[in-house]
Structure 1
Amino acid sequence: MSVKLSLLLTMVAFFLMLRKTNGRPLPKADAPKDVINKLQSIFKVGEGIMVYNTGIAREELEDDEIVCAERRAGKSYCKEVENYMEATRLDKIDPEQFAKFKEYFKDDLEPAQMVATRMDFGKLPCNSRTNIIYPKGAESEDSKWLLIVQHGQHKQGILVEECENEGRPCEENSTLPLKDIPKCKQSFTYRKLVVLVNGVMKEEMVKLPSTCKCRMCST
């Protein structure tokens, strides 16, 4: 009798497992449509692969809507800004506003030598690259991000110098501890440019790369 009961219980358990395996949940008509969007903010999907998205999600940046690759990389300016024209509507701005700031709409003088090298005796070089950029966004003195006016013939070309080997030690054969060895470090300056705030052009100081120097990390 006990053998038959055991066999019966085994069969019941088998059928229950089979039913659970083959059963499929019914689709929910009111399932949230933003699930895929949420997943895409976490994963990058390609053919046959799925990897974690290591970039900074848009919502993790400041809520000022100025988003760009340079800002994600920790720089103080944006060469391009997502939805720049939609955000600025520069094509709708009164031409008199452009005329008011016409002295700003020009390029800085570009040096003949594009790659600069700073080296003192006994030190390794701090290589830097000098070029003209047309930033569409930049960080202000009070750490806010502003949209810079760049439109048609009204462009502000800014000469910048950026480290190519920032963080590299610039002392040769130093006996100092690694943490105390001077390193190549990016320096910045504040430059007055024409920005757009609430549809109105105005002058503001923004932070831009200036030089690459050998300095102690704490300075």
Structure 2
Amino acid sequence: MASNLQSFLTTLMIFLVVAQTSARPSPNADMLNKLKSIFKVGQGIMVYNIGVSSEGLEDDEIVCAERRAGKSYCKEVENYIEATRLDKIDPEQFAKFKEYFKDDLEQTQMVATRMDVGDSKTKIIYPEGAESEDSKWLLVVQDEQHKQGVLIEECENVDSASEENSTLPVEHISKCKQNFSYRKLVVLVNGEMKEKMVKLPSNCECY
């Protein structure tokens, strides 16, 4: 196993050297910077994986199952801990935004008294990523001591016929549309906490 890994690293190093010295066009600056953020070359043929750069994840690097499915938030962002480094942030920043670190409990009680919609689900989530007003993706501040619990209502089957009406004629079949609203959460921007409006599912409208 160790010999296979050493062979792979040796091949990778040779490839990088050839790419820089051959007559072919050299990689652009962005590509070289991205490689440097992933690998660090020491003496001899040694390559060290140093993980995510200290600047955090870029907009297009905030990935999760929900975003791939077309949703406006991420429950769990890949490499979230390494990207945010919340353990390195000044505690005074957390204290400054302490009013945000709570669950939407008062709204949860209201939802418990309303009539359930068969094609929707209401729940509290703790998003690690979310889409902003200008369609950029941001890292939302979440850790064990500082959680931002937000109440959302999502359609189970967006733009598809309700199961209970599936046997009815087409003109009598109801469909559901997901509605969204913007709310302010604490996010990370260049390593600092800021308040930003993010897009979250608000209610499911069936018609």
TM-score normalised by L of structure 2: 0.64
Match of 2:86 in 1: 90
Match of 1:39 in 2: none
Contiguous gaps of at least 5 residues in structure 1:
1-28, 35-61, 119-125
Match of 2:102 in 1: 106
Contiguous gaps of at least 5 residues in structure 2:
1-9, 17-57
TM-superposed deviation, 1:33: 7.5
Higher helix share: 2
2:137 is aligned with 1:133: no
- Alignment length, in residue pairs? 150
TM-superposed deviation, 1:148: 0.1
2:194 is aligned with 1:198: no
Q: Is the 8 A contact 1:116 1:129 kept in 2?
A: no
Aligned counterpart for 2:146 among listed residues 138, 141, 154: 154
Structure 1 runs of 4+ with >6 Å offset: 29-34
Q: CA RMSD in A?
A: 2.9
Percent identity between the two aligned chains: 70
TM-score normalised by L of structure 1: 0.60
Letter of the 2:131 counterpart: E
Q: How do 1:35-46 residues align onto structure 2 when only pairs under 5 Å count?
A: none
TM-superposed deviation, 1:185: 1.1
Q: Is the 8 A contact 1:128 1:162 kept in 2?
A: yes
Larger Rg: 1
C-alpha deviations, 1:162-201, integer Å up to 9, x for none? Answer: 112322336964564x9xx651111111110000010000
2:68 is aligned with 1:69: no
Q: How do 1:9-48 residues align onto structure 2 when only pairs under 5 Å count?
A: none
Distance 1:128 1:94, change over 3 A: same
